[in-house]
Every structure is written in C-alpha cells, then in structure tokens.
Structure 1
Amino acid sequence: MKEEIFDRYIQAGAAAKKILSRGADLIKPDITLIEVATFVEDMIQNEGFGVAFPVNISLNEAAAHDTPSPDDTRTFAPGDMVKLDIGVHLDGYIADTACTVDLGNQPLLCEASIAARDAAIAAVKPGVAIGTLGGVVAHEIKSRGFLPVANLTGHGLDQYCLHKGPNVPNIPGAGGAILEEGMVLAIEPFATTGTGFVHDGKREEIFGQLVRRPVRLPAARKILKEIEERNGMPFARRHIHVKSADLALSRLIHDGIIRTYPVLSDVPGSYVSQAEHTMIVTSDGCIVTTV
C-alpha cells in the first residue's frame, strides 16, 4: 500500500473514532434520532472529511440500515439498544466503525459483540483463512449465551467502495479467502437475543447508485446530479433536496439505476448489539485505524 493511501486511512480512522464517541455521548432518552444523525454528519464534514454513508441508527431488533427520514420524530427511550454506525472518508479512503449504546440493562449482550470483534482482530494476519475469523466471532458470542447474526458480515474496503471482498463472516466456515498484507477490512460482529438471522423490513431510507445512464424525468436527473460526487457511495432520502424526490427515487429504483438498503432486523422483541473497527492487514498482524 502506498504511504499516502495508508496515511489517508489513518486520518479517516482517527476522525471516525472521535466522532463516534461524540455521537454516542448524545444518545439519551428523549433525544431525537435526527438530532444525533445531523450532529455526526455535520461533524464529519466540519472536520474536513466526507460522509461515507448515512449515519446508521438502528434500535433494538434492528441491526443495520436505519437512518432518520427527513421528517423523523422518533426519540430514544429507556430500554433501547442503539447501534450507531458511521463512515468517514478522506479522498474515498474509508473508516467504518460502530458501537452499541445500551439504554437498558444488557451489558453482557454489548460485551458479546465487543469481545467477538476484538478476538477476531487479534487473529488477523496474512495467511489466515477468513472462515477462521467467523469461528472466533461465533465462539465469543455463543459463550455468553447469545447468537451471532449469521447473514450479516464484515467486509473489505477500497477507495469509494464500502463492500469489497472478502466478506468477514460471523459464523464458522471452512476455508474462504486468505488474508493478505495490505487488505483493508471492517470487522463487525452482531450478537442477538433473537433467531440469529435478519430480514428486510419495509423501512427504506438509504439508497445507492448502481449504474450511470441517462434518464428522462427532470427530478430524477437532479437527484443523479446531487449524488454524483458520492461516487456510488450510499445516500439518504434526507440528503436529497429535489422537488418530487419520492417519485423520482421510485422511478430510478424501477429502472435499476438506484438500489435500496432496507432496514435489517431480527424478530420483534429481540435485541441486537454491534461493534466494529476498520483495520489494515500488515506483515505480522494488523493496524486498527479506528482506535
């Protein structure tokens, strides 16, 4: 990896660490979700970085992909388990990090995802099969009486690319990709009191561009112009400042130009915790950029 690229990853990681901590401190009963999301995204940009994806604020059984809508009035409540997942980039080089804020009394569930993340990081080095990391994650979570979320994974990162191979499983697997020096990974275990599987919900507030091609609808053209600088990275409905945005988004989705990221949830009444760091694989281990 070139030194200038390495430096960008390190700078993005340091910023992400600070901003995640500040955002998590805001999460308290009666505070609105949109207040936290706005604070985090404003801070990322005020610090001189870019927002790699809309701030994810996922409650209780929701594991990922929830973000406030433009007119969101939801507030945090006592007992909530809140996942705060943020992405910071510098010239497209991304730091992806997340934590869980427990507004109830489930410290062991939070500990399960943290311990799984840290144990997996400790196992990272060139030559290790990716399936080995899944086994480490699952062991730490199951030993505390919970289940790993089997159909969510960590992932590789690249410039302007949030999800590049290899995927980092949360369950054991034979073989798989072999870690190599210079790989950039986001390891993000999810521990759950539910079934261990998430499903697509009806709520869709995050979108991503799949292809570039001409469109006829003027509002759709304006949306594509607004998101052009994102280079394919996800955006939120609340980021769009175009009249008739909902109609235009529906057309872009129908035409296969834009995709949705539905909220991913375990069964109602369950709770999910998450912990995540970004790291660069080195010759003898890894450097974690978000600590």
Structure 2
Amino acid sequence: MSAEDEDDISVASSDEVDDEEKKDDAEEALVTDLSDSDVCTKYQEASRVVNLALSGLVSRCMPGARVGELCKFGHDVIDAACSKLYKGSSGAPGGGGSAGGGNSNKGGGGNKRIEKGVAFPVCVSVNDVICNRCPLASEETEPLKAGDIVKLDLGVHIDGYISVAAHTLIVPSSPDSTPTDIPDEVGNVAVAAYNAMLVAAASIKAGAKNVDVTKAVQRVASAYGVNPIASVRMHQMKRYVIDGVKEVALKDPTADDLEAGEEKVEECQFEQAEVYAVDVALSTGEGRPRPSGELRTTVYRRNVEAKYRLKVKASRALLGEVDRKFPALPFTLAHFEDERAARMGLTECVAHGLLSPYPVLHERVDARVAHFKCTVLLLPSGTTRVTGLELPTYFVTDKEADEETKALLAELEEVAAKKAKKKAAKKKKNSKK
C-alpha cells in the first residue's frame, strides 16, 4: 500500500469521526421531555389512541368473546388509529396511511420518519389472572362468560413517546345489560384500586418522593381491606423506555416478600417534565403473584445490554426479527407470522438474557383482583392524567376511605367538574359560530 493510499484512508476515517461527532451533538441537542411542545403533543396523541382502544375493548367484552380475538382487535384498533397520525413530512398529526405492526408502524412521506404503534401488547386477563395474558392465535382459550372479572392492559407510542392504561370490568349478561349481584369483595377491591390510582396520580408531582406515593396506596388499600399486589411497580417512562429507572412500589416489602425475591425500591424524587405510568393492582388475596404453570408466556422485551453469540439458527432468526421490528419496546409472539419458528428460537434467547419475559401472573383461584393504570404528565401547570377510563358505576362498596384520602378525592372531583363545565361551555360557544 502506498503512502498516498494511506493518506486517503486517514482522511476518510477523519471524516467518519466528524460525522459521528455531529450525530452525537445532534442527539444531545434533541429534547425528549415535556419541556418540548412537540413531545407533549405526541404523548397526547398516543393517549387518545390508548383510550380509543380501551373503550373499544370494553364494548367487546361480552359472553362468548375469546381472549385471543380481543387482543387482536385491540392491536388492529391501535394500528388503524396510528396510521392516521404523523403521515406527512412536517411531523404534524393528521392524514391517513397504512398501519404496520408492533413498534415499527412508520409514517410515510417526507424526510422525517415517525415510528408509531403498540408500546405494550394488548393483554386481557380474566378472574385470578392478574396481567400479561396475550395468547397466540393457535392457542385454545375459554370464551368469556357473564360475571367474569376482566383486566385490560395496553400501551401505545408515537415516535417512542409512550402512553399506557389498564381497566377492570365485569362481563355483563348481554350488550344492553349492566352487571348485577356483584359480590361485596369485588366492589371493595375495584373501588380501592381505582381510588388508589387517582390518589397515586395526584401524589406524583415535582418535588414529591416515591415513598410518599407508596404510603398513600397502602393507606387506601388498608381502608378497603385489600392488599397491593407485590412486584407491581409504577415506572417513569422516557422515549422508547417503558420501565424507567425511577420506580414506585405499591407496598413496602415485608421480610417474607424479600425472602421470596422482592427487591426494595430505591428512594427517588419526581421532577417536572417527567412522565409516569401509574400502575395499581390490588387483591382480596395475599397479594403475592405467581407465574402461571398453564398459561404460556408470550410477551417479551429485547434486553439491548445483553450480548451472546447464539448457536441455534432459529434463535438467530428470531433475534434478528426482534431487532428489526421491536428493538426497544415489549412485543408479543402473536405479532410474528410464523409462531412456531418464533417459539423455537425463544429458549436460547431467554436463557442468555437477550429477551426478558413478562410472565402471565395469577393470584390464588378464590382471590378477586382489580387492575387500573393511567399515564400522568408532570407539566408546569401540575400533574395531568391523560389516559384511563372512568370506574364502572356498578362497582360499589360500603367501606369508606380514610379522611386524608376522602379530602383528596373530593378535591379531584371538584377540579374535574370545573374542567367539564369549562369544556361544555367552550363546545356550546363553538356550536353557535
């Protein structure tokens, strides 16, 4: 090789370094929190899709409906709604388009590519099953029946900005009927979980600490005579990060919990411009979930920090597809065209930590479980709840919350009433134009 050739290589390498430095500088300059109005808009748009999908699923939870079909319906709603957002080159919402799947639903046209779609697979968990139930199309599932307690859980992202929600309902006997003869313990746990979510959401504000939120949830649960589900966590969410470093536990772990493998959550403080998933699951049982021995785990997340040279061809194929379609956010095996091939590649990927499972968790068979989740934005004006449906009116209880919780709930109702009144007045004014 001549000295001239070496000089050419040296120049090329220098240019590549400059390009990398420019790229790093651009990434550092990119604002990805709520201090940017475009980021706020993307969270709001993702939240609208979440609420739309959740409402659609509630209407489909009827006797005879199957869990797998409900999950597919939810994914179809999310894909269809996301395809209409951020289609153009300006990065603004609006327009139409085709839907992709999972985390790689991209906006078309223009110079800017906007990924959008499922941020957490639609899961439909029935009765003693707590969460993460998203069966494969090939699996046989029992149809829903009147009186079943159903927990819906899902997430959506726009450009990596994630909104999530969960909701609990009882399957009615028919589309035009309302569930009746609900056991007292079911009303207790549902009202407790919903109120605990509201209290937790209001307590997550700039300057507050996670330990205070944990105490508030425990206070609500105690008043209604139910238990927080151990291992359930509220998480900070960032761009393409659904389980952030900052966490909130639903309960302080006991010695038994620690012995069973529970970890104590590190104390942290909330800051303005952060986003949190307020996740509350309560039970009339012990509150100690266990992996299901019968229901297949289908939800996984790529662990980008893990490195291993896979030996099995099916494993390499699976990981390659995951890296292309679901590089950061949770996915379900139901999103793969060839389920059998995907299952074949799982064992090695999970064994070496390349994929992290979200196992199907359940309580004891006679326990009643309620699960509610919402997304909150810590804005300069205060904490704003952007996802989640109202508590179904058929969930009632004769138990009373403690005085501190009562006062906070009354304050939240007053604020909500003022917002509703203001919104109605604005709508009336616009209708006259």
TM-score (norm 1): 0.92
Query: For 1:160-175, what aligned pairs fall within 5 Å after superposition?
Result: 160-171=240-251
**1:139 maps onto 2:232 in alignment:** no
Superposed displacement of residue 65, structure 1: 1.4
Partner Cα distance (2:373, 2:235) in 1 = 11
Partner Cα distance (2:250, 2:243) in 1 = 16
1:44-94 per-residue CA deviation (whole Å, 9 max, x = no partner) reads 011114011211111222211111123233211233211100101101110
| Residue matched to 1:178 | 269
User: How many residues are treated as equivalent by the alignment?
Assistant: 291
**CA RMSD between the two structures:** 2.0
| Residue matched to 2:336 | 240
1:213-264 per-residue CA deviation (whole Å, 9 max, x = no partner) reads 6545333333223322322211212222235322211122223322222112
| Residue matched to 2:147 | 79
| Residue matched to 1:206 | 299
**1:278 maps onto 2:375 in alignment:** yes
Q: Please list every run of at least 4 consecutive aligned residues from structure 1 whose deviation after the TM superposition is greater than 6 angstroms.
A: none
| Residue matched to 1:58 | 125
Question: Which structure carries more helix by proportion?
Answer: 2
Aligned residue among 71, 74, 90 for 1:40? 74
Structure 1 range deviating more: 8-17 or 227-236: 227-236
SS of 1:189's equivalent in the other structure is strand
Partner Cα distance (2:325, 2:274) in 1 = 25
**1:101 maps onto 2:169 in alignment:** yes
Superposed displacement of residue 175, structure 1: 8.4
1:160-211 per-residue CA deviation (whole Å, 9 max, x = no partner) reads 1110021122125998211110111011111101101212223311122113
1:93-114 per-residue CA deviation (whole Å, 9 max, x = no partner) reads 1001010012372333211111
| Structure 2 unaligned regions, length at least 5 | 1-34, 83-115, 172-178, 254-264, 389-433
| Residue matched to 1:90 | 158
Structure 1 range deviating more: 186-195 or 259-268: 259-268
Partner Cα distance (1:279, 1:248) in 2 = 37
Partner Cα distance (1:205, 1:229) in 2 = 16
Q: Partner amino acid for 1:80?
A: D
| Residue matched to 2:135 | 68
The 8 Å contact of residues 8 and 93 in structure 1, kept in 2 or not, is answered as yes
Partner Cα distance (2:52, 2:344) in 1 = 38
The 8 Å contact of residues 308 and 352 in structure 2, kept in 1 or not, is answered as no
The 8 Å contact of residues 132 and 172 in structure 1, kept in 2 or not, is answered as no
| Residue matched to 2:321 | 226
Partner Cα distance (2:211, 2:272) in 1 = 17
| Residue matched to 1:259 | 356
Identical columns (%): 25
Kindly indicate whether structure 1 or structure 2 has the higher relative contact order, using CA contacts under 8 Å at least 6 residues apart: 1
Partner Cα distance (1:219, 1:185) in 2 = 37
Question: Which structure carries more strand by proportion?
Answer: 1
The 8 Å contact of residues 119 and 155 in structure 2, kept in 1 or not, is answered as yes
Structure 1 range deviating more: 7-16 or 260-269: 260-269
| Residue matched to 1:290 | 387
Superposed displacement of residue 150, structure 1: 2.9
| Residue matched to 1:190 | 281
TM-score (norm 2): 0.63
Task: Answer with 1 or 2: which has the greater Rg.
Answer: 2
SS of 1:108's equivalent in the other structure is helix
